[in-house]
Amino acid sequence: MSAEFVVLVALFLAVPITAKYVTSFQIRTLVDALKRRDREIDLMYAQLDGLDQERDRASGGTGL
């Protein structure tokens, strides 16, 4: 086997492996961002529920 063949095979192996790891890190970053935003939305819903309860108490509503 010549040196060019070995380098070519190494390049053909390196490209898909590199693409796999780059893609997996990007996916991990996106999943982390999605989870963070999901927690933010849950917090906003909790705040909205609290505001609704305050409004109902202030207006004399039953809260049902």
pLDDT single digits (tens) 33-58: 999 999 999 999 999 999 999 999 99
pTM: 0.64
**Spans of all domains in the chain:** 23-64
Helix %, strand %, coil % of the chain (to 5): 90, 0, 10
pLDDT value, residue 64:
56
Q: 32, 42 in Cβ contact below 8 A?
A: no
pLDDT value, residue 25:
97
Report the mean per-residue pLDDT for the chain: 93
- Is pLDDT above 90 for 1? no
